[in-house]
Amino acid sequence: MRPAFYGIILISLLSIIAAGCSPKTTGGKTFQKPNLDISGADIAEEGNHSLAIETGYNGALLAGSATTPFLDFNVEDYNRALQENKKIVLNFHANWCNICKAQQFHYFAAFNGLNDPDLVGFRVNFKDSETSNDEEELAKQFGISYQHTMVIIKGGKRVFKSPEALDKDQILEAIKKA
């Protein structure tokens, strides 16, 4: 009787491990790295400060435009966006996270298609080799438990939070509803 019991326990544990290793799904969609050509001119190179200067922000422009920038997080730009009462999108990102790397293309595509002077986005490092003390504090403030979490702030208050891996359309829908 005991060997059968241990066999059932072993099969259950293996099933749980296998489920945890399978691709994450949301709403019936499996999110995998999209086949987007990011070598084109419509996505800014990482560290491109030329458009960031036009916006008055100091952070590296990752995507978007001078009107609707998606920037590398820094506390000065974040505080400025709050003071200007902008709608703010925070993408908590880890440089070691494969889901984050794939999802980054969705954020780039979403912001490249936006033209909203009252919106600014930030890629916020989370528990990786590039995370600053300011980014750690921001993650604590919003109760971030996982990388690839999206937060939207409107009127200085959090109006949206999702730890799910979102595609371009879901990102745009969340921004629109916020």
Tens digit of each residue's pLDDT (9 = 90 or more) over 112-143: 999 999 999 999 999 888 888 999 999 999 99
Q: 98-112 and 168-177 are packed helices; what angle lies between their axes, rounded to 10 degrees?
A: 60
Report the DSSP beta bridge partners of residue 70. Answer: 63, 121
- Note the pLDDT of residue 72: 92
Q: What is the pLDDT of residues 55-100, one digit of tens each?
A: 678 888 999 988 899 999 999 999 999 999 999 999 999 999 888 8
DSSP 64: E
Give the start-to-end residue ranges of the domains of the chain: 26-177
Q: What is the pLDDT of residues 98-111, one digit of tens each?
A: 888 889 999 999 99
Q: What are the residues whose beta carbons fall under 8 Å from the beta carbon of 79, sequence distance 6 or more?
A: none
Q: What are the residues whose beta carbons fall under 8 Å from the beta carbon of 155, sequence distance 6 or more?
A: 85
- As a whole number of angstroms, the distance between CA 21 and CA 84 comes to 43
Q: What is the pLDDT of residues 10-25, one digit of tens each?
A: 676 566 665 554 444 4
* pTM tops 0.75: no
What is the rounded average pLDDT of the residues 30-47?
A: 38
pLDDT grade for 44, boundaries at 50, 70 and 90 = very low
Q: What is the pLDDT of residues 157-176, one digit of tens each?
A: 999 999 999 999 999 999 99
Superfamily holding 26-177: Glutaredoxin (3.40.30.10)
Q: What are the residues whose beta carbons fall under 8 Å from the beta carbon of 49, sequence distance 6 or more?
A: 58, 60, 61
- Note the pLDDT of residue 168: 95
Rounded (5°) CA angle 146-33-110: 80
